[in-house]
Amino acid sequence: MMANADKGEILIARVFDAPPELVYRAFVDPDQFCQWFGPDGFSVPFESVQIDARPGGFLRFVLVSDDDPGVRSPVNATLTEVVENQLLVGHEDVEGIPGTAGPHRLHLRLEFQDEPGGRTLLEVRQGPFAEQTAHDAKDGWASSFTQLDALLQRSR
């Protein structure tokens, strides 16, 4: 399910067939993060990933184009709220977003909710985006989540 939220934000809700602690770990473990994150055609090199999952901590990585490794989009997120296995909140300074000059600040909220049957409802709220960029961001999350599903299945 995907819907536009207020103020140019995107809201994505997705259920994963894995418990919250496994889904959460995929976001905060650099080894796992680099295996699934990134839209189709982009990768996250392991050596670019730095994660300190605590209030005041950070998530830093670089998206690199598979076709042209010179095309890079650095992401520097500051975490303001962290509840292990439940919540990651902060803001990201992202470079290389089409139609924006220099770093663009996005707010990000990830909620990991326990669902029956050992599943997790993940709600992602991110923005603000321009209309086309919001569409691209939704597509990027969707392709990343396909890869995350595969990683979670291997982890079970």
The C-alpha angle 13, 19, 23, rounded to 5 degrees, equals: 60
Q: Tell me the C-alpha distance between 73 and 64, whole Å.
A: 7
Q: Tell me the C-alpha distance between 136 and 42, whole Å.
A: 13
Q: Quick: pLDDT tens for 50-85.
A: 999 999 999 999 999 999 999 999 999 999 999 999
Q: Tell me the C-alpha distance between 60 and 105, whole Å.
A: 14
Q: Tell me the C-alpha distance between 21 and 100, whole Å.
A: 35
Task: Please give the backbone phi and psi of residue 50, each rounded to the nearest 5 degrees, phi first.
Answer: -135, 125
Question: Which amino acid appears at position 54 of this protein?
Answer: R
Tokens of 149: 């599903």
Q: Quick: pLDDT tens for 95-128.
A: 766 556 667 899 999 999 999 999 999 999 999 9
Tokens of 151: 């990683």
* Domain segments of the chain as ranges: 2-155
pLDDT (0 to 100) of residue 94: 83
Q: How would DSSP label each residue in 74-110?
A: EEEEEEEEEETTTEEEEEEEE---TT--S-EEEEEEE
Residue with tokens 């670019």: 48
User: In CATH, what is the architecture of 2-155?
Assistant: 2-Layer Sandwich (3.30)
- Mean of pLDDT values over 134-149: 94
Instruction: Specify which residues 60 forms β-bridges with.
Output: 50, 76
Report residue 8's pLDDT band, with 50, 70 and 90 as the boundaries.
confident
